[in-house]
Structure 1
Amino acid sequence: MNKQTIIVALSVIIFIAAVVAAAYILGSNNSQDNQQADHPDGHHEGQSVYEEKFNALMGQEALDFELYSYEGEKIRLQEQRGKKVVLFFTEGVMCYPSCWNQIAAFGKDEAFKKEDTVVFSIVVDTKNEWKRAIDKMPELGVSTVLIDASKSISKEYGVLSLPSSMHKGQFPGHTYLIVDKDGVIRFIKDDPQMAVRNDELKAELEKLN
């Protein structure tokens, strides 16, 4: 191979390398631009994708669902129009005593028994499993508990992987939503502290017509 041939070969290699490098740089810039377009502010600091998805429910029409209560009554969310609805998603039986205390507190509080207000505690237990909870704490039987044993509704509402969940991706933790009389979500709260939030919920309900 003569000197001229070597020079030509090296020139071709350098040219190809330059083209590949330029394509890589342009591709990286486009990828960054697309990410910024999809998330102009980036993820909220400290928030997971699951939290952002959950927070996006605010102001949206609540997803309709149909579940049976522990007593066997078929409950459909859409049929609650004209009422203020509190939804409490909870792990249920395994979330003792925090979730049990909140469910029992709903049943004791007259503010949640008004004609225009309903509270549904949604557990992922079977009916038989929840019966064992009532046997241990009879006060639980006063509240309306909906059975979501398949976890399908809990999954649709995106509550299986929030900070309050003790088993991320598998069970809800301690999460509240308030739906107004028109079926729009007006309040959301995921509570890793797993407290009884009656006072806070009542204050939010008072803001709604």
Structure 2
Amino acid sequence: MTIELGKQAPDFELLASNGEKVKLSDLKGKNVVLYFYPKDMTPGCTTQACDFRDYHGDFSQMDSVIIGVSPDPVAKHEKFIEKYNLPFVLLFDEDHQVSELYEVWKLKKNFGKEYMGIERSTFVIDKEGKLVKEWRKVKVKGHVEEALQYVKENLV
């Protein structure tokens, strides 16, 4: 299944940092800002999570839920949330099934080594469950503000 703007976002269910299962289709009626990131506690991912934290109230006022997804285990997500006081759930994509579904599980290169991992990406899903915006190969600086602006201009 390929994902496509204007079409239903692929549904999924994953274990969340709070120990509960989160199913995308259960969030209909709210906008969802779904972001995929490589790893808890790393500099870029921490900056991005803290930016989402800092704008969480603004997203909430626009009836939008923030959800982060990475292959890190729930216990690591809990530590990340606690350390940085994150007010949203992080989902555990252990076998990268959802990352593959959203086409963000990619071959990456770092210091001459190749490995599979998450390409930092953000998706906005509207209240009807349609994928309305995507950012791939996200650069952290200014990204959350850009996502907030998109929601404000297009989904409120």
Relative to the length of structure 2, the TM-score reads 0.83
Q: Runs ≥4 in structure 1, deviation > 6 angstroms?
A: none
Residues 62-101 of structure 1 correspond to what in structure 2 (within 5 A)? Answer: 62-93=9-40, 96-101=42-47
User: Residues 191, 75 of structure 1: CA spacing in aligned structure 2 closer, same or farther, 3 A cutoff?
Assistant: same
User: Residues 191, 114 of structure 1: CA spacing in aligned structure 2 closer, same or farther, 3 A cutoff?
Assistant: same
Identity value in percent: 24
Note if 1:114 corresponds to 2:53.
no
Range 79-88 or range 153-162, more displaced: 153-162
Corresponding residue SS for 1:60:
coil
Higher strand proportion: 2
* Amino acid paired to 1:68: L
* Amino acid paired to 2:145: D
Residue matched to 2:94: 149
Query: Is the contact between residue 107 and residue 116 of structure 2 (CA under 8 Å) also seen in structure 1?
Result: no
Residue matched to 2:137: 191
Range 96-105 or range 187-196, more displaced: 187-196
Residue matched to 1:172: 118
* Gapped regions of structure 2 (runs ≥ 5): none
User: Residues 134, 119 of structure 1: CA spacing in aligned structure 2 closer, same or farther, 3 A cutoff?
Assistant: closer
Q: Distance in 1 between matches of 2:77 and 2:28?
A: 28
Higher relative contact order (CA 8 A, sep 6+): 2
Displacement, 1:132?
4.7
* Amino acid paired to 1:154: S
Query: Is the contact between residue 49 and residue 86 of structure 2 (CA under 8 Å) also seen in structure 1?
Result: no
Q: Distance in 1 between matches of 2:40 and 2:66?
A: 18
Displacement, 1:128?
2.8
Displacement, 1:131?
4.0
Displacement, 1:154?
0.4
* Amino acid paired to 1:180: D
* Gapped regions of structure 1 (runs ≥ 5): 1-52
